[in-house]
Amino acid sequence: MEILCKKYHILTYGCQMNIHESEKIAGILESMGYVYSESENDADVIVFNTCCIRENAEQKAEGNIGALKQLKKKNKNLIIAVCGCMTQQKGKADALIKKFPFIDIVFGTHNLENFKSLLILKSAQKKAVISVLDKEGEIIEGTPKKRTSFPNAWVNINYGCNNFCTYCIVPYVRGRERSRKAEDIVNECRQLIKDGYKEITLLGQNVNSYGKDLNKEDFSDLLEQVASIDGKFRLRFMTNHPKDLSPKLIETIKNNPKICHSIHLPVQSGSDRILKLMNRHYTREDYFNKVEMLKNGISDIAITTDVMVGFPTEDEGDFNDTFDLMKKVGFSGAFIFIYSKREGTPAAKMDGQVDEKIATERIMKLLEFQNEFNRNQSLKYVGKTIEILCEGYDEKKGKYLGRDEYGRMAYFDGEKDDIGKFIDVKIISSGGISLFGEKV
């Protein structure tokens, strides 16, 4: 079925994984003749790609779905589809339809490739189409993609997670770990470089366990293969589980200049007692050892992290251990969250849920520290020249922007042609985590 000149709009919540999945949904819609619309007001199809990792992500999506009721009243032919992690939760699809009877399609993360057939099905029936599979199936290759983050391209390497950290809903909504074949990944990357992309970010919930289900290449082997593709580009990857960070990976980063000296290594907590309750399989000592191993192997490595406060039973002592770890490591960047209770996870049943006010006080302390640390790090850049990859134009600042290999953002006066190019920028000043400079 070809539908010509109809418009679509996608709202994406959550992580890079979701951003990339929206690129696949957009690819499917464009292969059917739909064109992208900046606004939801004149769209014929609106897709909500949701996240449920924390309660506020879910609330935000539900609030925005609710707001569409008026639009649906105005345009009876409007199709509203909801997909992503939120829909994979037990009973959620039916609950969504009950709460928002104007939703037309609900589909899950395991079968987004079927979106085209769901749209066709919906055009033939009045009632809502619900298609959420309990179990992950075979990996489906060849889904069209409408990439939206040039000069960076996201590339999935493995899906799902087997770790079952006790706070986390991901293993329940994304299923077990499964890896794409190295050959498929490398071919995709080679084509991307041919098409002019200058940065590839390999994606997985835990990239370090890539290949364990295939018994062929491990993650380091895969990185090496991608890094050996001809042409100048940057290679990044995320996310890493500290327990699986190997000396072999550090060697691979060190020996391949295209792999950025930057790694995201979520620590979550600096307290051994909490790490154990979280089922993280490492101690703070182990984490310090991994950081040391990284810094010894790659002296200029930039380490970023995720930290959580307010996990059940976290007391002042546990919090201080986390604070102390952050001070000792000195992260180049940190995403700091308040623990959010997720039904169905072991932590939701734990006694000792932490008062919201205390958790807020704790997060404020960490944010204040990290912001100050970022400011001081930025100051050290002033006067230096860095190579950035220009990503685009920032309307608000009226400047072009790009990142260096360590992930540091720099703004400068440039031109449209700079987008997608490597440019040397001399840093003149800094503000918070951002740098400001001029082309040299």
User: Is 168 near ligand SF4 (CB under 6 A)?
Assistant: yes
User: Is 161 near ligand SF4 (CB under 6 A)?
Assistant: yes
Span of 157-165, 184-192, 312-320, 331-339 interacting with ligand SF4 by CB under 6 A: 157-165
- Asked whether 366 and 323 are in contact (CB, 8 A), the reply is yes
Question: DSSP secondary structure string, 140-175?
Answer: PP-------STTEEEEE-EE------TT--HHHHH-
Instruction: Please give the residue ranges that form the binding site for ligand 5AD (CB under 6 A).
Output: 53-54, 167-168, 266, 268, 306, 308, 337, 339-340, 342
Task: State the amino acid at position 93 in one-letter form.
Answer: A
Instruction: Determine the Cα–Cα distance for residues 252 and 260; give it in Å rounded to an integer.
Output: 11
Out of ligand SF4, ligand 5AD, none, which partner does residue 410 contact, by CB within 5 to 8 A per kind? none
Q: How is residue 268 annotated by DSSP?
A: B
Place of tokens 């992950």: 136
Selected binder of ligand SF4 within 22, 49, 205, 269 (CB under 6 A): 205
Out of ligand 5AD, ligand SF4, none, which partner does residue 427 contact, by CB within 5 to 8 A per kind? none
Selected binder of ligand SF4 within 26, 132, 165, 277 (CB under 6 A): 165
Distances (CA, A) of 192 to 185, 380, 422: 11, 35, 17
Each as own residue / partner, the long-range contacts of residues 137-145 (CB below 8 Å, 24 or more positions apart, any chain) are 137/110, 137/111, 139/178, 139/180, 140/113, 141/180, 141/184, 143/24, 143/27, 143/28, 143/112, 143/113, 144/24, 144/27, 144/28, 144/30, 144/31, 145/20, 145/23, 145/24, 145/26, 145/27
User: Least distance to ligand 5AD from the beta carbon of 84, Å?
Assistant: 15
Q: For ligand SF4, give the closer residue by CB, 166 or 374.
A: 166
Span of 34-42, 65-73, 158-166, 297-305 interacting with ligand SF4 by CB under 6 A: 158-166
User: Is 57 near ligand SF4 (CB under 6 A)?
Assistant: no
User: Least distance to ligand 5AD from the beta carbon of 348, Å?
Assistant: 9
User: Least distance to ligand SF4 from the beta carbon of 134, Å?
Assistant: 18
**Bridge partners (DSSP) listed for residue 411:** 401, 436
Q: Report which of 262, 312, 268, 311 is spatially closest to residue 286, judged by C-alpha positions.
A: 268
Q: For ligand SF4, give the closer residue by CB, 153 or 170.
A: 170
User: Is 335 near ligand SF4 (CB under 6 A)?
Assistant: no
User: Is 377 near ligand SF4 (CB under 6 A)?
Assistant: no
User: Least distance to ligand SF4 from the beta carbon of 103, Å?
Assistant: 27
Place of tokens 């939701």: 348
- Asked whether 193 and 230 are in contact (CB, 8 A), the reply is yes
Q: For ligand 5AD, give the closer residue by CB, 131 or 304.
A: 304
- Applying CB under 6 A, the residues found at the interface with ligand SF4 are 161, 163-165, 168, 170-171, 205-206, 241
